[in-house]
Amino acid sequence: MATQTLEAAPRAATTVSLEHFDRRLRLFNRICAGVLIAFALLWLIPLLWAVDTALKPNAETTRTTWLIDDPTLDAFGRILRDTDILNWYGATFISSAVTAIGTVLTGSLAAYALSRMRFRHRNVVFWFVLAGIMIPGQVLIVPQFREFDSVHLLNTYWAVALPQIPTAIAVFIFKQFFDGLPRDLDEAARVDGAGAFRTYRTIIMPLTRPAVAAVFIFTFVSTWNNLLWPLLVLTTPDLMTVPVGLATVQGTFGIRYADTMASAVLGAIPLVAVFLLFQRHIVQGIAGTGLKG
Amino acid sequence: MSTQTAAAARAATEPRRTGAARPAAQQTRPAIGFLAPFIVLYLLFIIGPALYGLVMSFFDTSLVKPGLAGFAGFRNYAEALRSSDFWSSLWHTMWFTILTTPPLIILAFVFALLADRVRRGRWFFRLAFFAPFILPSAVVALIWMWMYTPLLGILHVSLDKIGITAPNWLGDPNWAMVSLAITTVWWTLGFNFVLYLAGLQEIPRDLYEAAAIDGAGPWQQIRTITIPMLGRTTTLVAVLQVIASLKVFDQMYIMTSGGPNFATRSILEYVYDESFTNYRVGYASAVSMLFFLVVLAVSFVWFSIVRRQEKEV
């Protein structure tokens, strides 16, 4: 806004050259838009092709064309009837929600202590937590698997959710957010006789909604999409998450391409819905944490 | 974004003022209460397994027998470093990283640059480029396996129409990794795209205004303002991308099972095979540790670059 008012003065002085410049710029911007639209359409082709295929009868998929002679929802019906996909939705939703709630709660509590409380070895604790960002989760799968095997928790929601709850980056994101909130709020609450937990719950957390939304959505989506870990710990079809279920049954479709694509589309729908609903949170979450992390 | 930074800067000066006035030891006990839920889970599921994995890497531990079994010393590590399977899977991982990183940085940068100049319809570009990123790997794999299908797949047919004979994408050992890389670029570009878009918005508009008044055309502005100002974003994107590419597993597991002829077996898939097909978890832990060292090395390179960049500013 401020730059626009500032620019008005010099523009009047150099009208001629700027007019020429504006015309050149407008042409340039139009070319940019054209190139970008072409790429965006190219990027949409795989998704559109999947939907297109899923709407064909299986027999028609061998003719590779966008046109559908006999559009039908049969493939979706078969997937819903013949696979456990409805169970997978439920199972994935439960483990993703439990993980996301756990990550937000444990992460924000720990971050509150690290941001607001004075205690001995605070820096040691902070660096200890930060070190966790360095450890790629994938190198832990073997010991984690033996751990859950030894306490007989394989094939449970616990096995999927628990190891994904402690996320060092979530603590870091919350701490950064808390550090940005004015201390006067805490002081005022303390004067009113509120303890640390009440300050956290009634003053700090309500102000932290953007960070809570970002961490919750990210944890939810990454748990939902995780393949390797749930693949190892879940072998009962009822408990499988959507990615594990899809990866497990994909071989059985053979050349029934419409069915395969219907299963892919059904697997994508919940996340496309999450994306459309929370687009802004997701994008801002990446931008904010990515650049500051 | 800018308000957050301002708030952060303000807070950086404030805590010291209020914090120093309070007696130091006072809050140790409540702090333990706040930290406990996270720290307990963190110890149980991150630090504990990391140490357990380190210990296992020195033993002949088997998946199907309880306990650590016999002490192996550095034998597992020596075996891994002598094993051609280890080196080829490490090379495949590197090859995948080399194939995916440059296009994922350059295309994301170019798309963000173009999108930054388009005033209307941002939501459409965000949808097109970012929606794939949020999909599960299994969905992405199913869609692309169908596109890569020989003879019937849309890629084969489309290329055929313009007179190009398509390769056997996933079936040819020379093409399989390239095909997985193409899929991955399509899948994950949106993440880098969003990072670059945010970086572009941080560049003050008056810099462009000033350059425009000095007569700089769009190309000059990009070369002299945009690219240098995005240096830190590029470092971040590059490192996150290299680490993400090194961790590749899902695409190979679903689309090629590491084939054809092990041509796409990544290091994590090698760990998976050794652990859960050959039951040699001791040996697999040693391979995991070596992989961890590679990731750590990349992180340290990043850290030193960022520090140098910060000194320059």
Probe site for chain A from B2, B22, B26, B46 (most A CB atoms < 10 A): B46
pLDDT over threshold 90, residue A165? yes
Q: CA–CA separation, A118 vs B21, rounded Å?
A: 11
Q: Which pair of tokens denotes residue A156?
A: 């449970």
- Note the helical H segments in chain A: 2-13, 15-54, 74-82, 85-116, 122-134, 141-150, 157-161, 168-179, 184-191, 196-198, 205-207, 209-225, 228-233, 242-249, 257-292
A3 touches chain B (CB under 8 A): yes
Looking at the partner chain, which of A3, A35, A166 has a beta carbon nearest the beta carbon of B41? Answer: A166
A121: left (phi over 0), alpha (psi -120 to 50) or beta: left
Left if phi > 0, otherwise alpha if psi is -120 to 50, otherwise beta: which for B151?
left
Using DSSP's 3-state secondary structure scheme, residue B178 falls into helix
Q: How far apart are CA B190 and CA B290, in angstroms?
A: 30
Residue with tokens 């470092």: B235
pLDDT in tens, A116-129: 888 888 899 999 99
Q: How far apart are CA A195 and CA B31, in angstroms?
A: 12
- pLDDT at position A250 is 82
Q: What whole-number distance in Å separates Cα of residue B126 and Cα of residue A135?
A: 31
Contact A287 B39 (CB under 8 A): no
Min Cα–Cα distance to chain B from A286, Å: 7
Q: Which pLDDT belongs to residue A55?
A: 92
Its sign, for the CA torsion B138, A85, A217, A124, is: negative
Q: Which residue of A has its CA nearest to B114?
A: A32
HSE-CB for A106 with a 13 A CA cutoff: 23
* Domains, chain A, with CATH or none: 75-292 (1.10.3720.10)
Q: What pLDDT is attached to residue B63? A: 86
Between helix B231-246 and helix A257-292 the angle, nearest 10°, is 140
Residue A50's pLDDT is: 93
pLDDT single digits (tens) B194-246 = 889 888 888 888 888 888 888 888 888 888 889 888 988 888 888 889 988 99
Q: What is the mean pLDDT of chain A?
A: 85
Give the model's confidence band at A67: pLDDT under 50 very low, under 70 low, under 90 confident, else very high.
Answer: confident
**Window from A65-69, A267-271, B176-180 with minimum mean pLDDT:** A65-69
Q: Is B37–A261 a contact, with Cβ atoms under 8 angstroms apart?
A: no
Average pLDDT over residues A159-170: 92
What number is the average pLDDT over the span A41-51?
94
Q: Where are the domains of chain B?
A: 84-312
pLDDT at A289: 60
Q: CB contact, 8 Å: B213 with chain A?
A: yes
Q: What are phi and psi of B59, to 5 degrees?
A: -130, 165
Q: For residue A145, give both structure tokens.
A: 């698997």
User: A270 preceded by cis ω (within 30°)?
Assistant: no
* Cβ-defined contact of B46 to A135 (cutoff 8 Å): yes
- pLDDT 10s digits, B291-310: 999 988 988 888 888 888 77
Report ipTM (2 d.p.): 0.84
pTM of the model: 0.85
Across residues A160-164, what is the average pLDDT? 93
- Residue B20 has a pLDDT of 43
d(CA A36, CA A231): 38
Q: What is the pLDDT of residues A188-203, one digit of tens each?
A: 888 888 888 899 998 8
Q: Does the beta carbon of B290 lie under 8 angstroms from any beta carbon of chain A?
A: no
Residues 6+ apart with CB under 8 A from B185: B100, B103, B104, B107
Sorted by sequence, the CB contacts under 8 Å of residue A49 that are 6+ apart come out as A66, B143, B146, B147, B154
Domain B84-312, CATH among 3.40.50.720, 3.65.10.10, 1.10.3720.10, 3.20.20.70:
1.10.3720.10
Low-confidence spans in chain B with pLDDT less than 50: 1-25
